[in-house]
A and B are shown apart, each in its own frame.
Chain A
Amino acid sequence: MNLNEFQAKELFSKFGLPVPNGKVAWSTEEALGIAKSFPEPKVVIKAQVLTGGRGKAGGVKLANSLEEVEKISSEILGMKIKEFTVKKVLVEEQMSIEKEMYLSFIQDRDNRGYRMIFSEEGGVEIEELARTQPDKVMMVQIEPFPGLVPFQLREVLSKLSPENKKHARGIYQMMNKLYKLFIEKDATLTEINPLIITSDGKCIACDGKISIDNSALYRNKDVIEYRLPEDENPLEREAREKQLNYVKLDGGNIGCLVNGAGLAMTTMDVIKHFGGEPANFLDLGGGAKAEHVKNALKIIVDDDDVNTIFINIFGGIVRCDLVAEGILNAKKELDIKKEMVIRLLGTNDKIAYEMLEKENISVFTAMTAAAKEAVKLSKQQGV
């Protein structure tokens, strides 16, 4: 689960990491109120959406007077950044930035541990820097036991360039606190970019990103509160609430309903291979029952991009007769007008075939043949 910048900064504050004075505003009036609460109305207004490239899209701007705050916040609120509409902005006091650095902790699955990444040169070009001048991006390998050990930080800080030596203590504290947050909140990523040094020598987290391990949300209940309706695609939200694993894809017209993530991806690959375009990834999960199948079908039916529905089920643990029951219930209740291609194979498939044939619904047994049919139907309607 990804957090908005203002939410990340709230967590930073809780863990003692300094952040600029600021607050989130949902309207121009609120933005003005926040700006007025500062000694001077010199602020930065930042769109709060769960996507990168906000600055380039014009979602981050400086305002130097109340008039500008009003004008700029009203411009940014309602703006579209990628697929998101901006519903809220962060209004913060402007910082006098002397230096921008980079600091992050990330779960490193390939090394079964964590990594700290630190650079004296932060900002949006950090990936480029890592590619072209890797020696300027320092990495520290951290093992789950004993975790981050202070000497590891001392080693990194000993490499600070001479002009930055005086900030070593401040940076050291930032590292320790960010690591504490990273571990305690089961984060997959905590990132401060830029970590700024102000002209009066303070270290401040000027922008931040946090992602939390979805599997660990049960023990981070405070984080679940950060889930806001506008940050999710409505169909994806419905799917999550119904415990379905669903990702909407741009530009496709074949809605896929599959059991198991690997087979769901394979189904998309096979559709593409035969010249079709999948509209989504949808994994029913392991123990799909009739109700579950119906819920999943509803999400695909509600997607206006979909003209053909492709159901691909390999009944191992999932029983094909229950899937057929779900399909028949959905047909009755949802008034499905879209073309449907069904492939069922495995446990209780014969019973399922009988149930569907009674309703004049044909069923495929092989995935490839079914995928070809779905592609054909999707194209006929596309014309």
Chain B
Amino acid sequence: MSIIINSSSRIAVQGAAGVEGQFHMSEMIKYGTKIVAGIDPAFQTDKVGDLDVPAYTTLKKAVEEHNADTSLIFVPAPFAYDAIMEALYCGIKKIIVITEGIPVNDMMKIKQYTKGSDVVIVGPNCPGLITPGECKAGILPGHIFKKGSIGVISRSGTLTYEIVQHLTEAGLGQSTCVGIGGDPVQGSTFVDILKQFNADDDTKAVVMLGEIGGVEEEKAADYIRDHFTKPVAAFIAGKSAPPGKTMGHAGAIISAGKGTAEAKISALKEAGVAVAVIPDDIADLIKSELNK
């Protein structure tokens, strides 16, 4: 088992006419991912570039003809809201948004629209996710991952790769690695993904990579303390970042000291999470947590 995606996931790529989208589609296919269709309003051909993937101008057709159950979005930011809504209207339940720079207001609307539904949105502004050896949905470099039992959740792409490299070298393979993205409003939060890992028998421990800003790490700490049954190790980036150059008083009034690295680290420690000082510590921390 794994979470969200596996070897039977059938992925449609929205925004497949661009160079970037096609490069990553070919990388995913090489990894063994089932890419069933490419969608782009600009398509005038039957196939996506040089790839053996059918091309469509609307997602509806791809869902009808190829039973796509997952959508991967590369659409440029100004059109991403439209693309995500298209996926939602087509009944897609797993939507992975790689696009960077989507206006906060657009994501707020999407979040409210999907509130209470069983739709899983990962991203935006994320590297996607990977279930090693089975399926890669996104832009992660497949070769550094190894099949195993560590679940990884991260707000940052390259920091994920850095840590996964350490895990893999230490013989700690991964069940699924999820990049939840660095935007203020995320499709899935740490808590959403932790819930999935909690229910996944193949995940024995979780690595959480957070950073300053927002209170999702603090919410995750509450969830871990009260409900999570597996060991967790974490790293929080941004300890040395200067306080944000914020303007006005409203931000200070509502944040009231929350969201700093210190606040996150202490919340996680209080919840029993092993917090690494530098990334190199993560693999050892997970090992000792697993041996407890």
Contact = CB atoms under 8 A, between A and B. Distances in A.
A2 B105 contact: no
Which secondary structure dominates chain A's binding surface? mixed
Given A189-B251, A261-B156, A286-B100, A216 B105 contact: yes
A108 B212 CA distance: 16
Interface in B48-83: 77-78
A272 B240 CA distance: 7
A90 to B, nearest CB: 16
A382 interface: no
Interface stretch (B35-43, B190-198, B241-249): B241-249
Nearest to A218: B78
Interface string A202-233: 00000001010111101100000000000000
A188 B241 CA distance: 21
A271 B240 contact: yes
B123 interface: no
A144 B112 contact: yes
B23 to A, nearest CB: 9
A56 interface: no
A260 B158 contact: yes
B271 interface: no
Interface in B216-256: 216, 235, 237-242, 247-254, 256
Contacts of A186: 103-105
Contacts of B251: 106, 189
Contacts of A316: 127, 139-141, 144, 157-158, 161
| Most chain A C-beta atoms within 10 Å of own C-beta, residue among B112, B154, B238, B252 | B238
A143 B109 CA distance: 9
Given A112-B111, A215-B77, A265 B241 contact: yes
A271 B239 CA distance: 11
Chain B interface size band reads: 35 or more
Given A109-B214, A268-B240, A347-B141, A144 B105 contact: yes
Contact of A106 (B155, B250, B280): B250
Interface in A133-185: 137, 139, 143-145, 183
B159 interface: yes
Contacts of A347: 141
Nearest to B213: A109
Chain A interface size band reads: 35 or more
B209 interface: yes
Contact of A368 (B157, B212, B280): B280
Contacts of B215: 110
A287 interface: yes
B171 interface: no
B109 A144 contact: yes
B250 to A, nearest CB: 4
Contact of B104 (A109, A270, A286): A109
A191 B209 CA distance: 34
A127 B249 contact: yes
Interface string B171-205: 00000000000101100000000000000000000
Interface string A292-326: 00000000000000000000001111000000000
Contacts of A102: 249
Nearest to A212: B103
Given A126-B249, A127-B252, A367-B162, A262 B105 contact: no
Contacts of B242: 249-250
Contact of A112 (B101, B112, B156, B277): B112
B253 A262 contact: no
A273 B281 CA distance: 13
Given A189-B248, A263-B158, A215 B101 contact: yes
A263 B144 CA distance: 16
A131 interface: yes
Given A112-B111, A215-B103, A265 B248 contact: no
A286 B237 CA distance: 18
A351 interface: no
9 contacts: A104-B249, A106-B250, A130-B256, A144-B111, A215-B101, A265-B238, A271-B240, A281-B241, A316-B127
Interface of B: 20, 77-78, 100-105, 108-109, 111-113, 127, 139-141, 144, 154-162, 165, 182, 184-185, 209, 211-212, 214-216, 235, 237-242, 247-254, 256, 277-280
